[in-house]
A and B are shown apart, each in its own frame.
Chain A
Amino acid sequence: FSLTQPHSVSGSPGTTVTISCTRSSGSIANNFVQWYQQRPGSAPVTVIYRDDRRPSGVPVRFSGSIDRSSNSASLTISGLQTEDEADYYCQSYDGSNHWVFGGGTRLTVL
């Protein structure tokens, strides 16, 4: 299966942006989705795990959800801050223990 994300999104400080992640086959609800933030030159960091849970230390401005009707997951960042500018990746897996990343979305804070 594959995970499709928009190449880029943008927003002004203080606004809300949403990044989608659409699963090509198999139900999005059957396997948990994770979201990672990656800044240039750094390793990825988990911002959402298990579809909608935030690790300690991640601001409440970050939230995750899944939508069975569109077979997709979403990462929403509210109250956008300049420090949120980064690449974001969704990730999931299948019953054969094959793991997949989305192509990544570049978030630009205008």
Chain B
Amino acid sequence: QVQLVESGGGVVQPGKSLRLSCVASGFSFWDSAMHWVRQAPGRGLEWVAVLAYDGSDKQYVDSVKGRFTVSRDNSKNTVYLEMKNLRADDTAVYYCAKLQAAGVSSWGQGTQVTVSS
């Protein structure tokens, strides 16, 4: 079955950087677009970014453009989210997800990112 395991979360000061990782198994990772979705405390889900199966296309929500970068290593079945210049409003649980337009989506368990001085 599909498994997505995130790591790399933690507490970081405003303006600093953090890199999240997501290791995938149970499906053809090399052939799948991958997404990052976040959820601030007490708030709803917010789509953050998508990366095409071959890395050729990357899209971001406006609030993270220029600060966040999504990448992948298909040899390691891993997708990354590099976050720079972090702000307090980036505090959230970050989910790695295999969102599908016409199929069943799968989600990781999430990793907490807290931006605080």
Contact = CB atoms under 8 A, between A and B. Distances in A.
Interface of A: 31-32, 34, 36, 38, 43-46, 49-50, 55, 87, 89, 91, 93, 96-104
Interface string B95-117: 10001111111111110000000
B85 to A, nearest CB: 22
Interface of B: 35, 37, 44-47, 50, 57, 59, 61, 95, 99-110
A99 B45 contact: no
25 contacts: A32-B102, A34-B99, A34-B105, A36-B105, A43-B108, A43-B109, A44-B95, A46-B106, A49-B100, A49-B102, A49-B104, A49-B105, A50-B102, A87-B44, A89-B44, A89-B45, A91-B45, A91-B47, A93-B101, A96-B59, A97-B57, A99-B35, A99-B47, A103-B44, A104-B45
Contact of A97 (B50, B107, B108, B109): B50
Contacts of A38: 45
Nearest to B35: A99
B47 to A, nearest CB: 4
Contacts of A96: 59
Contacts of B110: 43
A50 B47 CA distance: 18
Contacts of A50: 102-103
Contacts of B104: 46, 49, 55
A30 B43 CA distance: 28
A101 B102 contact: no
A43 B97 CA distance: 10
B44 A104 contact: yes
